[in-house]
Amino acid sequence: MQTKKKNKRESRLAPMHDSTRSLLPYPRIFPTRTKISFFSTLSSTSRTSIAVVDTLSSSPPVSTKRTLAVTHPTTSCSDQTSGSTKKTHFIITKDGTNHLVKREIRTETDEKTHLYTLTIHPDNTYQVDIDGKEAQKGSLKEDFDILKPKEIKDPQASKPSDWVDERTIVDPEDKKPEGYDDIPESIADPEATKPDDWDEELDGEWERPTIPNPDFKGEWTPKRIPNPLYKGEWVHPLIANPDYVDRDDLYLFDSNAYVGFELWQVKSGTIFDNIIVTDDAAEAAKFAELTKEAQTGENAAQEKDEAEKAAAAKAAEESEKTDKDADAEDSKDEL
């Protein structure tokens, strides 16, 4: 079973936020097989804020959503990112709540085409690939906060009142040295001399300038020693969570009826294209080859363009040098 949708969305002027969705021709449910989602992106700038690709339920209001989002460096972003954050988001919506994967997933920030793949398996595992190479994988149960925790802190337990968790104590044997507080912070500079032209009637009585006192050690504090009564950090005991319910259907969604885009842009120029939602690995691999062919041609064109620019720059530099040499020769002739 497979569903394809070829949709192109190019960003407009920045900054902006925009979204769109498109109905798939064959909404499908994948109850027992792997679901594979592809999309490719071509960025003419590394300043795309966030680009989100969703597969959406057919039931209004949308109750289930699977999101694979790409975040590039930006100074204006959504509430999930800021500054120079560069990451790929994987978000699952269950029971009306968005759940962001807890693992870090890298992203690409150059100006080339890249293929992002999200695979969700019936055993509740997932894998994110970029250009056919694993970027992250894990468990829907462990890497998302969809399920309630298996264990919680025992509400009946509390730290004993006599629990000692201070690692060190003041050394009772350590005493402040006699006369410690009498040491001044600064002293007169013993090497300073009165200037020869100093006039006490005009300038007043001459005084030596002060310098930091090398014997001054600041405010005295007693030494600390290991606390013999220290018991370690108190750890709150855990108990089984009575509200925990295991689920084996986290991978399952009621339908895959739409593909949607949601964009936060600070600069235009990013194109998204070539989307497939399928449970056929062979079909997905065949579809991915189309992007690989585009990448090969794109890289070759970019290398050619860079070579031509380098050659033009070198020619311009040589021409400028020739002109300078000619001007120098002309100046000699005039002399």
pLDDT digit string (tens) for 262-298?
776 666 667 777 777 777 888 888 888 877 877 788 8
pLDDT at 18 > cutoff 70: no
pLDDT at residue 244 tops 50: yes
Here the tokens at position 159 are 């730290």
What integer pLDDT is reported at residue 184 of this predicted model? 92
Residues in Cβ contact with 267 at an 8 Å cutoff, skipping those fewer than 6 apart? 14, 45, 47, 48
Kindly tell me if the per-residue pLDDT of 261 is higher than 80.
no
Provide the percentage of residues in the chain whose pLDDT is more than 70.
68
In the chain, beta strands by DSSP E: 2-5, 9-10, 16-28, 35-43, 48-56, 65-71, 87-94, 97-100, 113-120, 125-130, 133-139, 151-153, 168-170, 186-188, 210-212, 224-226, 238-240, 256-265, 270-278
Predicted pLDDT at 332: 63
Q: Check pLDDT > 50 for residue 144.
A: yes
Domain 2-150+246-294 CATH assignment equals 2.40.10.10: no
CA distance 127 to 36: 10
**Under DSSP, is residue 258 helix (H, G, I), strand (E, B) or coil?**
strand
More confident residue, 2 or 101: 101
Tell me how far apart the alpha carbons of residues 130 and 72 are, in angstroms, rounded to a whole number.
15
Average pLDDT over residues 290-309: 82
| Pairing status of strand 151-153 against strand 133-139 | unpaired
Res 62: pLDDT = 37
| The pLDDT of residue 241 | 97
Identify the band that residue 65 occupies on the pLDDT scale cut at 50, 70 and 90: very low
- When comparing pLDDT for 235 and 62, which is higher? 235
pLDDT, tens digit, 9 for 90 and up, residues 191-243? 888 888 888 888 888 889 999 999 998 999 999 999 999 999 999 999 999 99
Report whether pLDDT(33) > 90: no
| Residue 265: strand pairing partners | 16, 48
pLDDT exceeds 80 at position 80 = no
Question: Is residue 38 exposed (0-12), middle (13-18) or buried (19+ Cβ within 10 Å)?
Answer: buried
Lowest mean pLDDT among 19-28, 134-143, 227-236: 19-28
User: Of 12, 94, 91, nearest to 48 (Cα)?
Assistant: 12
**Measured distance CA(206)–CA(195) in Å, rounded:** 9
Residue 31: pLDDT over 60: no
Give the whole-angstrom CA distance, residue 303 versus residue 294. Answer: 14
Q: 96 pLDDT exceeds 70?
A: yes
What is the three-class DSSP state of 206? coil
* Between residues 199 and 152, the one the model is more confident about: 152
Can you tell me the distance from the alpha carbon of 2 to that of 29, in angstroms, rounded to the nearest whole number?
10
Tokens 């032209």: give the residue. 197
Identify which has the larger pLDDT, 63 or 260: 260
